[in-house]
Amino acid sequence: MTYDKQQQNATNNNKMPHKEIRTTLELINGQLRSYTTVGGYPVFYLDACDNAVCSECATESLNDGEIDSFKIVGYAINYESEMYCDRCSEKIESSYGEDEETGDKDF
């Protein structure tokens, strides 16, 4: 199932340091993706207030639909940022960030 979401405000993209915000959300077995299909890059989702949200919390937001500011409006790939979900505080994996066990950079 695909949900096409339009940006509430075009200037919202300027607040996040990520190159491309995608607005087509795809559910697989009722869950939003945690990784891209090509390359397996980790993704995060954005709500209407530009908060970074993990795939689990984003899926819950789609199912709730009661609070407008919690609505998911897009997603992007987390390449290098150390990022945490603004809802559950879990770390959102990055493609080329530090390895949690060793502290070494992946790139």
- Per-residue pLDDT reduced to its tens digit, 62-81: 877 667 778 888 999 999 88
Q: Which residues contact 8 (CB under 8 A, 6 or more apart)?
A: 48, 73
Closest alpha carbon to 76 in 107, 106, 51, 105: 51
- Per-residue pLDDT reduced to its tens digit, 77-97: 999 889 999 999 999 999 987
What is the pTM (predicted TM-score) of this model? 0.69
Q: What is the largest CA-CA distance in the chain?
A: 42
pLDDT band at 105 (very low <50, low <70, confident <90, very high): low
Q: What is the mean pLDDT of residues 21-28?
A: 71
Eight-state DSSP code of residue 98: B
Alpha-carbon distance 26 to 99, whole Å?
28
pLDDT of residue 99: 63
pLDDT for residue 30 is more than 50: yes
pLDDT band at 107 (very low <50, low <70, confident <90, very high): very low
Q: Work out whether strand 2-4 and strand 24-28 pair parallel, antiparallel, or are unpaired.
A: antiparallel
Domain coordinates in residue numbering, the chain: 2-92
Helices (H), the chain: 55-64
pLDDT of residue 77: 92
Residue 61 CA: distances (Å) to CA of 45, 48, 50, 66, 68: 11, 11, 14, 8, 10
pLDDT of residue 26: 75
